[in-house]
Amino acid sequence: MAGHSKWANIKHKKAKQDAQRGKVFTRLTKEITVAAREGGGDPDGNSKLRLLIDKAKYVNMPNENINRAIKKGTGELAGASYEFITYEGYGPGGMALIVTVLTDNKNRTVSALRHVFSKCSGNLAESGAVMWMFDQRGVLVVKANGKTEDDVLESLLDYNVYDVKKNEDIITVICLQEDLEVVKKALEEAGFVVDSADLSWIAKNPVKVSSENEDKAFKLLEAIDDLDDVQDTYANLE
């Protein structure tokens, strides 16, 4: 599964820890606010918002928080104006990175990113420097619950699925970005529990780095992911 193996599994486990600390609520609040601002506050007519609400409910985000974030997006409540920005960069061992942020202060965010990259043997790059190495795909994480990759594939025969891979107790499904919602619905109707359904940047040709550089790479990825304004971090690691 190109670019969606070890780091993706670490992120999935880390997301559960972040949920316990409430950090995931902050990220989701920003995303819901922006989605409501761009596509309206009705989830029936705003597929992005609908997916985010599902994600928020999965991590037990209170309905009050969700509704407040939507109202901030539609202008019913006052709130910060967040800007979505994508940054690109390089890490140890030739690793390429895409970092997505939602920020109300671009200067603060880029300064923090430069500091982390520099501290962890990486550097920010110009726009377009690494984006061509990735494709945007729909990525769904499903609880295995004793099921296999074949069980998942059987429920998705009518859809364009790029890959299905089991790792420990989860199964990851890669699909066309425009099929994300219908694939999620098909999995749920087949009885699978969908942990998450998101659009992700998947590396076309993942690279393998040395064990020494791998440790450095994960330190950089985790340091970036811990920044308040960062929404997600993608790498072209095997």
Kindly report the CATH number assigned to the domain that includes residue 172: 3.30.70.980
User: Quick one: 164 and 176 in the same domain?
Assistant: yes
Q: Is the pLDDT of residue 40 over 60?
A: yes
pLDDT, tens digit, 9 for 90 and up, residues 181-197: 999 999 999 999 898 88
pLDDT at 1: 34
User: Quick one: 187 and 138 in the same domain?
Assistant: yes
pLDDT, tens digit, 9 for 90 and up, residues 77-136: 887 788 999 999 999 988 999 999 999 999 999 999 999 999 999 999 999 999 999 999
pLDDT, tens digit, 9 for 90 and up, residues 1-18: 334 456 666 665 666 565
User: Quick one: 99 and 119 in the same domain?
Assistant: yes
User: Quick one: 123 and 143 in the same domain?
Assistant: no
Query: Does residue 65 belong to any structural domain of this protein?
Result: yes
Q: Is the pLDDT of residue 56 over 60?
A: yes
pTM comes to 0.82
Number of domains composing the chain: 3
User: Quick one: 96 and 212 in the same domain?
Assistant: yes
Query: Does residue 1 belong to any structural domain of this protein?
Result: no
> In whole angstroms, what is the distance from residue 145 CA to residue 180 CA?
22
For 93, 100, 193, the CA distances from 119, given in Å and listed in that order, are 15, 19, 39
pLDDT at 146: 87
User: Quick one: 173 and 138 in the same domain?
Assistant: yes
User: Quick one: 104 and 215 in the same domain?
Assistant: yes
From 44, 1, 49, select the one nearest 29 (Cα to Cα). Answer: 49
Q: Which domain holds residue 103?
A: 83-132+205-235
Q: What is the enclosing helix (H) or strand (E) of 196?
A: strand 194-203
Query: Does residue 11 belong to any structural domain of this protein?
Result: yes
pLDDT at 201: 93
pLDDT, tens digit, 9 for 90 and up, residues 128-163: 999 999 999 999 999 888 888 999 999 998 888 988
pLDDT, tens digit, 9 for 90 and up, residues 199-234: 999 999 888 888 888 889 989 998 998 898 999 899
Which of 48, 74, 100 is where one domain is finished? Answer: 74
